[in-house]
Amino acid sequence: MRSNAMRTGKTQAGVTLIELMTVILVLGIIASIAVPSYRSYLIRANRSDAKSALMQLQVAQEKYYLQFNKYTKDVTGAPPAGLGLPSTTPNGFYEITVPVLGAGDQTYTAYATPIAGKGQQDDKKCNIFTITDTGQRNIKDGTSDKETCWR
């Protein structure tokens, strides 16, 4: 006895539930691998935001020092009071500060601290970048070494 579909020459085409669930499972596995890897890549790429802003601050501080024979901790103020730079990095991932000057305003340490809510605070390897008046680059908080972070 032949079925109605066999007699007319037509067969049913489609996707079974098991095939559909298999595709969804494979996509889930791929996504669970790709998303954390991409997030890690973004965090590493966004570190350049902090490094370039600190280098720009260092140049501005040296220019300020040549004019006034001292450094300033006012990053955002217009000269002659400050450096006239933005308080955040160009992409807004880090806040740039010079919290304390040392020895009669003759030394400084500048910090690039991740801004909460921007995702960069998840960077546990290189969290807070620093640079000093002598050009010494370092990290204040993180599990990685300074060479890796400043690379």
Torsional sign, CA 97, 101, 107, 109? negative
Is a pLDDT exceeding 90 seen at residue 145? no
- Return the ∠ at Cα 55 (arms to 50 and 58), rounded to 5°: 125
Q: What is the DSSP letter of 22?
A: H
Task: Please list the residues that pair with 59 across neighbouring strands.
Answer: none
| pLDDT given at position 96 | 96
- 95 with 115: CB under 8 angstroms? yes
In a domain, 109, yes or no: yes
Q: What is the pLDDT of residue 8?
A: 62
Tell me the pLDDT tens digit for each residue of 23-67.
999 999 998 888 888 888 889 889 999 999 999 999 999 999 999
Residue 92 falls inside a structural domain: yes
Distance of CA 119 to the CA centre of its chain: 7
In a domain? residue 127? yes
Q: Is residue 8 part of a domain?
A: no
pLDDT of res. 122: 85
What CATH number is given to the structural domain containing 127? 3.30.700
Domain that includes residue 47, residue range = 15-150
pLDDT tens column, 3-27: 555 566 677 778 899 999 999 999 9
87-99: average pLDDT: 94
Residues 101-138 pLDDT 10s? 988 999 999 999 999 888 888 888 898 999 999 999 99
In a domain, 62, yes or no: yes
pLDDT attached to residue 6: 56
DSSP reduced 3-state for 78 = coil
Q: Is residue 145 part of a domain?
A: yes
- Domain count across the chain: 1
Q: Tell me the pLDDT band of 150, cut-offs 50, 70 and 90.
A: very high
The predicted structure's pLDDT at residue 144: 83
Is 97 inside a domain boundary? yes
pLDDT in the model for residue 86: 95
Looking at residue 5, its pLDDT comes to 53
How far is 113 from 41, CA to CA, in rounded Å? 19
Q: Distance between CA 98 and CA 96 in Å, rounded?
A: 7
Asked, for residue 78, whether it belongs to a domain, the answer is: yes
